Amino acid sequence: MIDLENNEARHLFRLYWQVSRLLDRELSSLELGHGRYLYLFGLYIRDGRKQQELADIIGIDKAAVTRALARLEQTGYVRRAPDGDDGRVTRVFLTDRGRELRPTLETAADAAIGQLTAPLTAGERDTLRSLLAKVAAPFIAG
């Protein structure tokens, strides 16, 4: 039987909620809104992704991605354009403003992760990162 107070799912959810809250607070002045920084992180890894690819790697449905990207486009962080080879496909690109935001986002993410992992030694952080990557690998599309 599962221990309702001490199980992996509960701990992962609480950590996700906490890091989201910390990042939302840090980034509130940037008009990003909840979770929109995830799209920018995906584009920092590889700019010009297909819109559907962003939906897959973030794990959000197509309609939610469309709304989030529309907002990021309105705030000047990304632009969308038809794929050169297949006009049915939309690609997403960082704007200069979106690229300039990268150091701020990375600093905020590093600070949030630092707060969450403060009780750990450097070795424990490495182990945690490795284990989380291993568990997440089957669910990451790109």
pLDDT in tens, 91-132: 999 999 999 999 999 998 898 889 999 999 999 999 999 999
pLDDT digits (tens, 9 = 90+) for 4-23: 888 999 999 999 899 888 88
Q: Which domains does the chain have, with CATH numbers?
A: 8-139 (1.10.10.10)
What pLDDT is attached to residue 134?
93
Give residue 117's pLDDT: 93
pLDDT above 90: percentage of residues in the chain: 57
Residue 77 structure tokens: 């962080």
Nearest CA to 30 out of 105, 91, 90, 87 is that of 105
The whole model's pTM is what?
Answer: 0.82
Start-to-end Cα distance in the chain: 35
Q: What is the DSSP letter of 31?
A: T
The H or E element containing residue 86 is none
Q: Write the pLDDT tens digit of every residue in 31-62.
A: 787 788 899 999 999 999 999 999 988 888 88
